Structure 1
């Protein structure tokens, strides 16, 4: 096996690192990595790269992600989800469905979001969750994120269920907290399933049990993770130049704002990642796969 990807259905109760350790043992590989950490209590799609395919992980984290989320009203915790210590609680009356829909739609588009203290973001060399566990709270800078879609599914007396599709870097716990602020009630994220990471869909995800039973059938080709990039097929001569790290000509325009490109040789084999140089008719090699494999 030269490498590949697995669309894993992470179960609740395991860390993303636990899943990576399981894959290492199953496939007898040291080089294994994942794209997009999921909280231990959360379930859903966790893309995992095997062997030399780990070189592509940086391109897998740029994808949009989709989630199914439940938030519960009436209390908040130090972690923002229902696994933390309750810090505040009050009796709340659930707003009308029309008001909830209006609040949810107010988050559509590019917004600013403050990351939660319980996150892996580093400040002065320390991860925020390490500081939080030590009882230290620090000021966090708001970051720009994009909410592409957000749809209300169900409203109960104490909970709201919705689907959201968002850009990388979005913290769903923070989104729930911000929703709570707009409905004037403390909330926690009480349920989270990631349903999609780029082209990795939950409907095609495999369980750990399925991997244990038939490990080879779970492996996907590496370009499965790159389908969001435009595809370019080169002639044999130009592909050879690209594989030697040379800038190559292109007739592509700058329209559409495309940046990264997946590059294939004349036999339709992935040979690397390129980047269209702005206002120039050339593609610059960004990552070259010399053997045609990751």
Structure 2
């Protein structure tokens, strides 16, 4: 029996602007249903709380998945100083609070500078990283904490967009390498400042040359017919050409 795909099988890359609470798996499942195909994947999980660019690969374009996942990502984020959570973001339970009245804008800027360039980062327990075949988040939900291997990551660029000492909040932009956890970045900066921190907002604005402004919204995606969704797909040739330029 031939395993080749039908000539009219859907193929391409869809840029989706993920909503909070709408998971990466939800996006894949929706595309499978609308396009009536099982061959669908995505290029880098976004946490349930996060919004922004999710690249969905369909049909033969799934062969691009590994290459696209290696592209740098850009995020816009907000961190709250003085409060730590077990997940390092606002979806987790508060595990520690500390005063922030000793902080200055200069100290915060210096902490960001400390975590620039290349360094080792330990993935959070609430992550999809697997230990002995089991995702860490499943162990974390059972109250277990397992030693995780640090990863070498790189912050290519960062900009501090707002520092509000009164509310102990910082807005920032970061462009980073594959495997980078922005919530761990916020957590580690909080540790360096001596007050702890967690992420309260996260939006992926870019992946490689692809920007969230090009993406289809989740409500629009849910309303799409098969033909409308096919018309939104970037071809393999388009994707490769943009990555080379």
State TM-score, norm by structure 1.
0.75
In structure 2, the residue matched to 1:209 is 219
- Summarize the Cα distance change of 1:174–1:224 in structure 2 as closer, same or farther, 3 Å threshold: farther
Q: Distance in 1 between matches of 2:185 and 2:174?
A: 10
Unaligned runs of 5+ in 1: 232-294
1:145 paired with 2:147, answer no
Determine if contact 2:82/2:190 at 8 Å carries over to the other structure: no
Output the CA distance in 2 between the equivalents of 1:60 and 1:227: 13
**Structure 2: any 5+ residue segments left out of the alignment?**
1-7
CA distance in 2, matches of 1:126, 1:228: 36
SS in 2 for 1:53: helix
Map of 2:64 onto structure 1: 56
Higher relative contact order (CA 8 A, sep 6+): 2
Aligned-CA RMSD value:
1.6
Distance 1:108 1:136, change over 3 A: same
2:122 to 84, 91, 114: 114
Alignment of 1:123-272 (within 5 A): 123-156=131-164, 157=166, 158-211=168-221, 212-213=223-224, 214-227=228-241, 230=244
Change in 2 beyond 3 A, CA 1:146/1:14: same
CA apart distance, 1:224 = 3.9
The answer to whether residue 95 in structure 2 is matched with residue 81 in structure 1 is no
Structure 1's 207 and 95: CA in aligned 2 closer, same or farther, altered over 3 A?
A: same
Q: Going by fraction, where is helix more abundant, 1 or 2?
A: 2
Match among 30, 35, 44 for residue 36 of structure 1 = 44
2:86/2:93 contact within 8 Å kept: yes
Using the TM superposition, give the Cα deviation of residue 99 of structure 1 relative to its aligned residue in structure 2, in angstroms.
Answer: 2.2
Q: 1:83 & 1:145 partners in 2: Cα distance?
A: 24
Secondary structure in 2 matching 1:140: coil
